[in-house]
Structure 1
Amino acid sequence: MEISEIMTEKVQAGSVPGTISSIYEILREENLSGVPIVKKQTGELAGIITRSDLIKNPDEDQVAMVMTRNPITAAPDEDVKSVVRKMINNNIRRIPITVDNMLVGIVTSSDITNKALWKIENNEPVEKYMVHNVPTVWDKTPLPVAYSISNFFNFKSVIALNDDSKASGILTETDFIHESRVVEEQTVHNSSVSTEGDKWTWNSQSVMYILKNKLKFSDKLVKDVYGDKLVSVTRKTSVKECANLLKKHNIEQVPVLNMSDEPIGLVRSSDLMRAMIE
């Protein structure tokens, strides 16, 4: 199967020069996790920018300062498995498809799962591919605290637990983006210089005002943000069944629960891709 058979042809893209606010707008309106960046004058591919890039660089205003330059690309006639290997080897979840450096499409890990993997009769259990160490938070945790926990573990999602320590929901980077905005914060720094003489003392003080952007989250609790029904799997759920669940619910990841509904891991589209080449 060629990658052109499953790629998205109508690509939402940002441009350079351009502002970060325009990228936030695209991600929120189109519910995307990242977009390619093209040169405004020529239309050539210039880079790629993701939700993670935005969250990690709230103080930057220009797309060119945040985007990843010279991204990994693929040609429309490349084999799907070849593109999957590129994504896994480079630890990325999306690849622009180009012809002569002109953007003609994009493929994501979700495209691989939803349009290719679910068709394969793979009955291996997902425990072979799941991530075991996943951060969890109480579902009554304030959203800014949940984000700090996610950021501390350098993980793109957190699983929420109810009062009985059972999984009740999941928050992803998309949720954090939707519930945040970039605000300007001013800090004041004082410095003083003293010169002493025999009969007098002269003091001077300089004040430096520093403006910096930061992400500000809503005052909601975790349970106010995630959906009503948690989609989950067990460690023995097959790869095919899990891929079908992701496709059916249009999601990128599902918690893995034990028989007591306690989380024991997480399966993401990017994890399931490995089933295509192993």
Structure 2
Amino acid sequence: MTRTVSELMTPHPTVVEVTDTLHAVAQTMATQDIGSLVVAQDGAVVGIVTDRDLVVRGLAEGLGLDAPVGSIATGDPLTVAPDDDLRDVVRIMREQAVRRVPVVEGGLAVGVLSIGDLAAELDPTSALADISEAPAND
């Protein structure tokens, strides 16, 4: 039986607008204890931003806290649909060396699929699965 992205994705991702400030985005990540957010413009997915992006593309480059997140987000991200074949998506993620992909339906983000999600389900004894399933550090 073919498995689909919807079976493993994390549903209801947090979405921020391209105009949201780096400060607001960092606060959202801290409050929700997450390391990546989907970036949208008028609701349509246009990018993804990680905590590493905030540091490397924002702080290290001297951008202020009021800079828009769109200025540091990875634009034009690989996206997948909830009904996409999981094997195909894993292959594409591997080929393009991406760690997470927004799951989009009707132009809107409905989930995120990460390598941690994949490891926890498909390779549960791996170190990545253990790390992904562990509680967050305080």
Please give the TM-score of this superposition, normalised by the length of structure 1. Answer: 0.43
CA distance in 2, matches of 1:109, 1:35: 15
Q: Whose helix proportion is higher, 1 or 2?
A: 2
CA distance in 1, matches of 2:106, 2:16: 19
Residue pairs, 1:171-186, within 5 angstroms: none
2:72 is the alignment partner of 1:70: no
Aligned to 2:46: 46
Aligned to 2:98: 92
Aligned to 2:21: 19
**Are the equivalent residues in 1 in contact too, given 2:116–2:128 (CA < 8 A)?**
no
**Are the equivalent residues in 2 in contact too, given 1:93–1:108 (CA < 8 A)?**
yes
2:131 is the alignment partner of 1:246: yes
In the alignment of these two chains, the number of paired residues is 128
1:102–1:250 Cα change, 3 Å? same
* Matching residue within 104, 109, 112 for 1:103: 109
Provide the aligned C-alpha RMSD in A.
1.9
**Are the equivalent residues in 1 in contact too, given 2:119–2:126 (CA < 8 A)?**
no
Deviation string 1:27-71 (CA, Å, 9 cap, x unpaired) is 1122212111112xx311121111221111212311111111110
Q: Partner of 1:52: helix, strand, or coil?
A: helix
Give the C-alpha shift of residue 241 in structure 1: 5.3
Give the C-alpha shift of residue 244 in structure 1: 5.5
Aligned to 1:34: 36
Identity of aligned residues (%): 23
**Are the equivalent residues in 2 in contact too, given 1:114–1:246 (CA < 8 A)?**
no
CA distance in 2, matches of 1:70, 1:243: 27
2:85 is the alignment partner of 1:83: no
Residue pairs, 1:106-125, within 5 angstroms: 106-118=112-124
Stretches of structure 1 that go unaligned for 5 or more consecutive residues are 119-239, 252-278
Regions of 4+ moved over 4 Å: none
Please give the TM-score of this superposition, normalised by the length of structure 2. Answer: 0.81
CA distance in 1, matches of 2:135, 2:84: 25
Which fold has the larger relative contact order, with Cα–Cα distance below 8 Å and residues 6 or more apart in sequence?
A: 2
1:49–1:89 Cα change, 3 Å? same
Q: Whose strand proportion is higher, 1 or 2?
A: 1
CA distance in 2, matches of 1:38, 1:249: 29
Stretches of structure 2 that go unaligned for 5 or more consecutive residues are none
1:2–1:250 Cα change, 3 Å? farther
Q: Partner of 1:87: helix, strand, or coil?
A: helix
Give the C-alpha shift of residue 246 in structure 1: 3.2
Deviation string 1:154-190 (CA, Å, 9 cap, x unpaired) is xxxxxxxxxxxxxxxxxxxxxxxxxxxxxxxxxxxxx
CA distance in 2, matches of 1:14, 1:44: 10
Supply the AA of the counterpart residue of 2:22.
I
